[in-house]
Amino acid sequence: MSHFLDTNILLYSISSAPKERGKRDRAIELLDDDAGVLSVQVLQEFYVQATRPSRSGAVTHQQAETLIEAWLRFRIEDLTVAVLKKALSIRQALGFSYWDSAVVASALAAGCDTLYSEDLSNGQVIEGVTIVNPFRP
């Protein structure tokens, strides 16, 4: 089955911080598996965060665009009205932020069985999608 990758996976993959070396290596390992799924939202969030001038190790527009182009080899879940409605439902039911709810909704829409994210509760299962923090020992 396929797995969904949250924005933090993409961001760690480009980190140059020595203290994040283990997370960077794990993120790259996840990105080497072509069974990954991303969403338009995740790619947008990556661009905004990776190019933010206040970010340590910020990348240029061109560098971010090149990375995004490379990641388009993955299946990309579009932002649709159905995903929006599902995100609103998840937000109401679980109390997640809208953005986290939209990530879960995209993973569900893509039929993923696993959602790799550092931002949600490791081991939580939402309608058949298991949240896994890939950086936990």
**Domain edges within the chain:** 3-132
Give the span between the Cα atoms of 52 and 37, in whole angstroms: 24
Convert the pLDDT of each residue in 85-110 to its tens digit: 999 999 999 999 999 999 999 999 99
Q: Residue 136 gets which letter from DSSP?
A: -
Query: Which tens digit of pLDDT belongs to each residue from 35-56?
Result: 999 999 999 999 999 999 999 8
Buried-exposed string 86-107: b where 16+ CB fall within 10 A, e elsewhere: bbeebbeeeebeeebbbbbbbb
Q: What is the dihedral of CA 38, 50, 70, 131, to 10 degrees?
A: -30
**Residue reference for tokens 């080497």:** 32
Q: Please, how many CA atoms are within 13 Å of residue 122, restricted to the half-sphere of its CB?
A: 6
Mean pLDDT, the chain, whole residue set: 96
pTM of the model: 0.94
**Mean pLDDT of the region 44-73:** 96
Per-residue model confidence (pLDDT) at position 86? 98
What percentage of the chain carries pLDDT values higher than 70?
100
State the pLDDT at residue 56. Answer: 87
Given this structure, which CATH class describes domain 3-132?
A: alpha beta
